[in-house]
């Protein structure tokens, strides 16, 4: 008997599949290059003004903090319960 071996080629679109893979890979690499961009921060004029005013008052603030520390350490610090209650009241009403 004479046997004939046949070679069948299935899925002739494999070349197209390879091209699709390459396109996906290129898309990923372009997305990665977009993601590599650096972040940028812009400080508004109002924020810059707040920074300068807070730095100007920092000496006064430090002095006040030191006074409070000394009074707490010496035991002469007095807590005004009425002021604390006034500040807490709006939070307790909600």
Cα Rg of the chain, angstroms: 37
Q: Name the pLDDT band for 8 (thresholds 50, 70, 90).
A: low
Using one digit for the tens of pLDDT, what is the confidence trace for 32-84? 666 677 788 899 999 888 888 777 677 888 899 999 999 999 999 998 999 99
pLDDT value, residue 37: 74
pLDDT value, residue 2: 57
Using one digit for the tens of pLDDT, what is the confidence trace for 21-35? 677 777 777 666 666
Judge whether 18 lies within some domain. no
pLDDT value, residue 13: 54
> In the predicted model, is pLDDT for residue 1 greater than 70?
no
Q: Which two tokens stand for residue 5?
A: 């071996």
Q: Which two tokens stand for residue 27?
A: 């898309």
Q: How many CA atoms lie within 13 A of 12 on its CB side?
A: 2
Judge whether 69 lies within some domain. yes
Judge whether 3 lies within some domain. no
DSSP annotation of 89 reads H
Judge whether 82 lies within some domain. yes
Judge whether 30 lies within some domain. no
- Which domain, by its residues, includes 59? 45-93
Our count of domains for the chain comes to 1
DSSP annotation of 52 reads H
Question: CB-based contacts of 71: which residues, under 8 Å, 6+ apart?
Answer: 77
Q: Which two tokens stand for residue 84?
A: 């604390």
């Amino acid at each position: 008997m004479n046997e004939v071996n046949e070679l069948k080629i299935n899925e002739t679109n494999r070349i197209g599949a390879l091209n699709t893979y390459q396109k996906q890979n290129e898309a990923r690499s372009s997305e990665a290059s977009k993601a590599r961009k650096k972040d940028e921060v812009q400080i508004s004029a109002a924020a810059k003004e707040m920074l300068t005013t807070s730095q100007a008052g920092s000496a006064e603030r430090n002095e006040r903090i030191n006074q409070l520390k000394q009074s707490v350490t010496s035991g002469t610090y007095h807590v005004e319960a009425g002021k604390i209650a006034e500040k807490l009241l709006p939070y307790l009403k909600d």
